[in-house]
Structure 1
Amino acid sequence: MMEPSEIAIPPARILLATDLTSQGDRALDRALQLAKEWHAELHIVHAVDVEPPSVPAGVNPIDYLQRYPRARDEVLRVMRRDLGTDELGATVHVEEYLAPAPAILAVAERERCELIVLGETRQRLLGPILESTVEQVVRKSPVSVLVVRDRPRRPYRHVLVGTDFTGEAQQALVFAAQLFRDASITLMHAYSMPYSSLLDSTSEAQGWSASDLKKLREQVEAAPLSPERKASIRTTVEEGPPNAMLRRYILDQGADLTVIGAHPRGMLFDAFVGNSRRIVDAVPSDVLMVRALIPSPAPFSPKRA
């Protein structure tokens, strides 16, 4: 069986998805920083969901295509001009006749990319009815996905890892601790206590909190990390909806990356983060969804008193 520590090997191939707008600049800068830090190949993909121009009858095709260039040629020109792809040493992929999400997933599979990086967009064609490109990729990708929201002024320094005590969450913790070696790590568990509105005191809540703090330390100790790295990991338990608690911690403590474990079959753990739309909307920092290995390790089992 594959060990969780195996996923901590830096990705050898990173795929940046861009729509060539200013919204993608932050994702580009972060992808460049990570590719340089990890000595990884950088691939860049852009989808062109349009038909090529048809040359009217009796018109010189060369003159016409110079005035109305094919979408693929125009995209390549813009990418070389604006992104400097030749100087970056990146491999450029222009996918024609595909919507963005299928194009991104197709290139990731074809090029065996191990991490997809893309910028956030909150624009939806029909409001909440249809998923955005980010949401589709996060939900369907067989590999880990980094959603970039902030301007990458420096490497990640403060990483928040959410846990529900599952094997996937354990892999996310190891991934974060191994890949971002110079960053501080906080491991958080958020819970909603049953019938809390009927309780007259906080003794029950304090009991739950103490029990979960013990489980968190046991999860850290069970991780295949060095003793020094384990000792550096902070733990916290918050009472409330996980999405809200993640958001509050980030705003209060300034975490610049949130890491969440995800099912290997492509669905996020509903027990901790709900659906992909909620987690992407709720967290104000960059978000890394760590896709668990197959087969997934057995869930972490805390010791019973």
Structure 2
Amino acid sequence: MAQHPIVVATDFKPRSDRAVDRAARLARDTGRELVVVHAVENDSELRGGETLKERVASVMPEDAGAYRCLFPEGSAPAAIAQAVEDEDAFCLVIGVARYNTVGDFFLGTAVDMLLRRSPYPVLVAKERPRASYDHIVIGTDLSDASKRGVEAAVRMFPQAQLHLVHAFHVPYEAYQNAEYVRKELAASAQEKCDAFTAKLEVSPACREKMTMELVEGSPLTAINKMIAKYDAHLCALTSHGYGGWRQALIGSTVSDLLKTLTVDTLVIHPKHESGD
């Protein structure tokens, strides 16, 4: 069995089901151990009639296979983050706090804190795991941090086809001047995209099946366009890039982005080194 387990956090509520189901599938797909973490924030949980291991068993899918349980005590964000670090996890899988309608996801305080602070990849499971991650859309701002994020995604999912997308913006003034100004801006952005992909440290086989597309509009528009085009079930983002992606991923708008994307979303710290 590969090192670096899949760690999934659960509070035993229905909202955690998608995270648990996805983590179990990901563990099977990658041949990794599955570790289920529940943070004990209240001593009353330890005095209940049903044991914590029994509660974990009650939320696991029938085909989960073997798994290990951890019950750290303390506030959920701190306890879960410490468990992930102690296990040197492949990634942490978590669910959103609440589902209302499509496109309306609420992270909650614990999830938001883990996304902001964890140096490990955090996978926010939104969909039921109907398929493996064969196609992954990666939003990139062409920064060095984004480069490291793409390379980490390649190490994490070597069998998947990665679809990189970069959004570029044409100022209103350019539309007012002439079409050739817009074309020049697009050509300049394309040159930067080509230079970015040329610098990626990936295998020839990975590079051959990787795509890189330039899309005019906002980062969200670009991502959704690629998700629809490739029927992707996972979008990967780097947590600390620059430019537009930095604005999309730091501060309160991280909740807005994850609220809008309807597919599972993987947030990668740019300095993370994924284990094999």
TM-score (norm 2): 0.81
Q: Is the 8 A contact 1:15 1:113 kept in 2?
A: yes
What is the aligned partner in structure 2 of residue 92 from structure 1? 69
Q: Is the 8 A contact 2:234 2:264 kept in 1?
A: yes
Q: Secondary structure, in 3 states, of the residue corresponding to 2:141?
A: coil
Q: Which one of the candidate residues 29, 32, 35 is aligned to 2:21?
A: 29
Once the 2 structures are TM-superposed, how far is the Cα of residue 77 of structure 1 from its aligned partner?
1.9
Cα distance in 1 between the residues matched to 2:3 and 2:185: 38
What is the aligned partner in structure 2 of residue 5 from structure 1? none
Once the 2 structures are TM-superposed, how far is the Cα of residue 263 of structure 1 from its aligned partner?
3.3
Q: Is the 8 A contact 1:76 1:94 kept in 2?
A: no
Alignment pair present for 1:293 and 2:274: no
Once the 2 structures are TM-superposed, how far is the Cα of residue 75 of structure 1 from its aligned partner?
2.8
Q: Is the 8 A contact 1:221 1:230 kept in 2?
A: no
Cα distance in 2 between the residues matched to 1:143 and 1:259: 13
Q: Is the 8 A contact 2:96 2:107 kept in 1?
A: no
Alignment pair present for 1:254 and 2:231: yes
Q: Is the 8 A contact 1:160 1:259 kept in 2?
A: yes
Cα distance in 2 between the residues matched to 1:109 and 1:176: 19
Cα distance in 1 between the residues matched to 2:107 and 2:255: 11
Q: Which structure has the bigger radius of gyration?
A: 1
Cα distance in 1 between the residues matched to 2:72 and 2:49: 8
Q: Secondary structure, in 3 states, of the residue corresponding to 1:154?
A: coil
Q: Is the 8 A contact 2:119 2:272 kept in 1?
A: no
TM-score (norm 1): 0.74
Alignment of structure 1 residues 127-146 onto 2, 5 Å: 131-146=108-123
Task: Decide whether aligned partners of structure 1 residues 88 and 209 sit closer, same or farther in structure 2, where only a CA change above 3 A counts.
Answer: same
Task: Decide whether aligned partners of structure 1 residues 203 and 76 sit closer, same or farther in structure 2, where only a CA change above 3 A counts.
Answer: same
Q: Which one of the candidate residues 134, 156, 169 is aligned to 1:192?
A: 169
Cα distance in 2 between the residues matched to 1:130 and 1:138: 10
Alignment pair present for 1:119 and 2:111: no
What is the aligned partner in structure 1 of residue 186 from structure 2? 209
What is the aligned partner in structure 2 of residue 299 from structure 1? none
Q: Which one of the candidate residues 36, 40, 47 is aligned to 2:32?
A: 40
Task: Decide whether aligned partners of structure 1 residues 92 and 143 sit closer, same or farther in structure 2, where only a CA change above 3 A counts.
Answer: same
What is the aligned partner in structure 2 of residue 147 from structure 1? 124
Cα distance in 2 between the residues matched to 1:11 and 1:257: 23
Counterpart of 1:263 in structure 2: which amino acid? H
Q: Is the 8 A contact 2:81 2:114 kept in 1?
A: yes
Q: Is the 8 A contact 1:168 1:263 kept in 2?
A: yes
Counterpart of 1:122 in structure 2: which amino acid? R
Unaligned 5+ segments in structure 1 are 1-9, 54-68, 296-305
What is the aligned partner in structure 1 of residue 41 from structure 2? 49
- Count of residues in correspondence between the two structures: 263
Q: Is the 8 A contact 1:243 1:273 kept in 2?
A: no
Percentage identity across paired residues of the two chains = 25
Unaligned 5+ segments in structure 2 are none
Q: Secondary structure, in 3 states, of the residue corresponding to 1:160?
A: strand
Deviations 1:28-59 (A, max 9, x none): 22212222232222211112322338xxxxxx
What is the aligned partner in structure 2 of residue 235 from structure 1? 212
Q: CA RMSD in A?
A: 3.2
